[in-house]
């Protein structure tokens, strides 16, 4: 992988490699764009197969955060960070504090928060060493776990897709195949269950599958089978690139809408979904609930859950707006979303920087 060429192609500003021998930290911080404000994006811990895979994931996720924050109307740019390792076995306080010092060294260009493999307790360790961490626990004055807000936003986006496809937001009797039952997937399943949907679920961790089967009466399938089950909605809520040459031919869904980042392995896969008449909710539009909630911590008046919830509910309108642009211009929804995000960034970048003292 030619990293600098990739960064030049997609407009990234900065890539930071972080290492601490004593704690085992092997981390990466990617900053994509800071036109709208400091780069905000979560910290992910994953057992990547290679350093190259981790770097590419950080770069792709950082770019996604720029677009996500733009469409969500936030005054924030996009960044992301990853730590290479197994979050269930390798994570420790020293590692997280070492990472926090790297964040601090960027002097506010990047603000970190939770993502896959990282929870609010972990962010508490990070923020010992940096002023630039959000998504902190409620007892510490923060917003706590952003997962319920991400799930709420995805649910609202699914309703917007349902309205487009079936002329109604009623999910009673609809079948939803949910891939990934972590915090976001779990809360999303609860919303869907309460709305009367039938759930088909899968996850790498059997304990999480058993929990949903026991609590919500979900039907469990293997991780490979989830793509081909008969369903109305396929909801990917784990890692990215799950919409690809292998999975598209077996999909039986009418809608693809979930919280996972970078669901399309390549742009052409979004084109193919459109050709097949499958409505795709662009990931960074529908999954913005968590970052909207986390960003509320940065407001001058402090965090307000009611205000944050109201903004997350607005994801219905954001998804509906993207669908409308796609229909009017005859383009795939992912291109419509990109156009919306890029337009705002270009407008703000063009503003004359008048000196105000």
Confidence of residue 139 (pLDDT cuts 50, 70, 90): confident
pLDDT at 19 over 90: yes
How far apart CA 33 and CA 56 sit, in angstroms, is 16
Q: What is the pLDDT of residue 283?
A: 96
- pLDDT tier at 267 (50, 70, 90 boundaries)? very high
Report the alpha-carbon distance of residue 242 to residue 248 in Å, rounded. 9
Q: Specify whether 80 is catalytic.
A: yes
DSSP 274-302: HHTT-EE--HHHHTTHHHHHHHGGGSTT-
**Residue 67, burial from CB neighbour count under 10 angstroms (0-12, 13-18, 19+):** buried
pLDDT recorded at residue 80: 98
Distance in Å from the first CA to the final CA of the chain: 45
Catalytic residue among 2, 68, 80, 165: 80
Q: pLDDT band for position 299 (50/70/90)?
A: confident
Give the pLDDT band of residue 145 (cuts 50, 70, 90). confident
**276: pLDDT strictly greater than 80:** yes
Q: Which phi and psi angles does 303 have, rounded to 5°?
A: -75, 135
- Of 8-12, 117-121, 350-354, the poorest mean pLDDT is in 350-354
Question: Looking at residue 346, what is its pLDDT?
Answer: 94
Across the range 196-212, mean pLDDT stands at 97
Phi, psi values for residue 271, rounded to 5°? -60, -40
The stretch 172-176 carries a mean pLDDT of 98
Whole-number pLDDT of residue 144: 84
Name the 3-class secondary structure at 119.
Answer: coil
As a whole number of angstroms, the distance between CA 100 and CA 306 comes to: 30
Give pLDDT tens digits for 99-108. 999 999 999 9
Strands 25-33 and 14-20: antiparallel
Domains contained in the chain, CATH given: 3-66+76-134 (3.40.50.10860), 147-288+316-342 (3.40.50.720)
149-169 tens-digit pLDDT: 999 999 999 999 999 999 999
Q: Cβ–Cβ contacts within 10 Å for residue 197, how many?
A: 26
Q: How does the average pLDDT of the chain come out, rounded?
A: 95
Grade residue 146 by pLDDT with cuts at 50, 70 and 90. confident
Tell which residue, 232, 256, 230, has the closest CA to residue 244.
Answer: 256
1 falls in which pLDDT band (50, 70, 90)? confident
In this structure, the number of other CB atoms found within 10 A of the CB of residue 175 comes to: 19
**pLDDT score at 240:** 85
Residue labelled with tokens 């859950």: 305
* Predicted pLDDT of residue 224: 96
* For residue 272, pLDDT beyond 90: yes
pLDDT tens profile 28-84 = 999 999 999 999 999 999 999 999 999 999 999 999 999 999 999 999 999 999 999
pLDDT, residue 256, reads 98
């Amino acid at each position: 992988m030619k990293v600098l060429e990739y960064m030049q192609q997609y407009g990234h500003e900065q890539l930071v490699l972080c290492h601490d021998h004593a704690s085992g930290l092997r981390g990466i911080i990617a900053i994509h764009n800071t036109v709208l404000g400091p780069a905000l994006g979560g910290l992910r811990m994953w057992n990547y197969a290679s350093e190259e895979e981790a770097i590419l994931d950080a770069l792709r996720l950082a770019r996604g955060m720029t677009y996500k924050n733009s469409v969500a109307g936030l005054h924030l740019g996009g960044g992301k960070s990853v730590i290479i390792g197994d979050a269930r076995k390798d994570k420790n306080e020293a590692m997280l504090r070492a990472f926090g010092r790297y964040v601090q060294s960027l002097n506010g260009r990047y603000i970190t928060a939770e993502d896959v493999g990282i929870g609010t307790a972990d962010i508490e360790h990070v923020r010992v060493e940096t002023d630039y961490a959000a998504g902190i626990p409620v007892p510490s004055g923060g917003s706590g776990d952003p997962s319920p807000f991400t799930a709420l936003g995805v649910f609202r986006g699914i309703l917007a897709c349902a309205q487009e496809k079936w002329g109604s937001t009623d999910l009673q009797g609809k079948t939803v195949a949910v891939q990934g039952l972590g915090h976001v997937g779990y809360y999303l399943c609860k919303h869907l269950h309460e709305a009367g949907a039938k759930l088909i679920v899968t996850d790498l961790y059997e304990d999480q599958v058993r929990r949903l089967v026991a609590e919500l009466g979900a039907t469990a399938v293997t991780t490979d089978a989830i793509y081909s089950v008969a369903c109305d909605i396929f909801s990917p809520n784990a890692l990215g690139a799950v919409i690809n040459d292998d999975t598209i031919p077996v999909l039986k869904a009418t809608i693809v809408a979930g919280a996972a980042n970078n669901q399309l392995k390549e742009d052409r896969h979004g084109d193919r979904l459109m050709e097949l008449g499958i409505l795709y909710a662009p990931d960074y539009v529908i999954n913005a609930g968590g970052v909207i909630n986390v960003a509320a911590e940065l407001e001058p008046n402090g965090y307000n859950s009611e205000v944050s919830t109201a903004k997350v509910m607005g994801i219905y309108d954001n998804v509906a707006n993207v669908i409308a642009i796609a229909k009017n211009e005859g383009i795939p929804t992912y291109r419509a979303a990109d156009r919306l995000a890029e337009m705002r960034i270009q407008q703000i970048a063009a503003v004359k920087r008048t000196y105000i003292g």
